[in-house]
Structure 1
Amino acid sequence: MLRFRKKPVVIGAVQWSGDNIGEISDMELNYELRDGKILIPTLEGTMAADLGDWIIRGVDGEFYPCKPHIFNQTYERVI
């Protein structure tokens, strides 16, 4: 088996807190707010971001939600 490492890539992300819809709107993301969740159209279909989930803009401008524990294992803040 060959082994690979992720290339360093800078992404944009906002953590959904339930009261920061302005930040979400500023991402220019098409979304629907339903029952405290943000429904996001992704390349794989519509996905829901729960409270605490991160909403990520990928390298090609695509959006998708990410659970906090996965986000923290995968990304670190760029200053």
Structure 2
Amino acid sequence: MLKEYRKTATIKAEQFNGSEEMIKKYGIGTIDNYQYYIKTLEGDLVIRIGDWIATGVNGENWAIADEIFKKTYEEVE
């Protein structure tokens, strides 16, 4: 039977802007001038400017497309 589930863990996230600072901070690699990748627990993941970089409870990072992020997460006050 299909059931509904809600995410309950909080994350830290910031929107990727392609800056050298963020590239160094998250160890982001470049494929070419317009494509980037971030190392995740599941392997390398393409990240685009405007995507979000999420940091989980164990310090792991992953990319979330902007439209998915806005539908899934809300800022904690």
TM-score above 0.5: yes
Structure 2 match to 1:29: 26
Structure 1 residues 48 and 78, CA gap change in structure 2 (3 angstroms):
same
Secondary structure of 2:75's partner?
A: coil
Give the structure-2-normalised TM-score. 0.77
Secondary structure of 1:3's partner?
A: coil
Aligned identity (percent) is 34
Question: In 2, Cα distance between the equivalents of 1:72 and 1:36?
Answer: 23
Letter in 2 for 1:72: K
1:68 aligned onto 2:66: yes
Report if aligned partners of 2:40, 2:62 keep a CA contact under 8 Å in 1. yes
1:15 deviates by 0.4
Gaps spanning 5+ residues in structure 2: where? none
1:45 aligned onto 2:43: yes
Q: How many positions carry a matched residue from both structures?
A: 76
Task: Give per-residue Cα distances to partners, 1:26-74, cap 9 Å, x unaligned.
Answer: 8x53322442443211122101210100011122221111101110111
Letter in 2 for 1:31: I
Structure 1 residues 47 and 70, CA gap change in structure 2 (3 angstroms):
same
Question: In 1, Cα distance between the equivalents of 2:49 and 2:38?
Answer: 14
Report if aligned partners of 2:14, 2:53 keep a CA contact under 8 Å in 1. yes
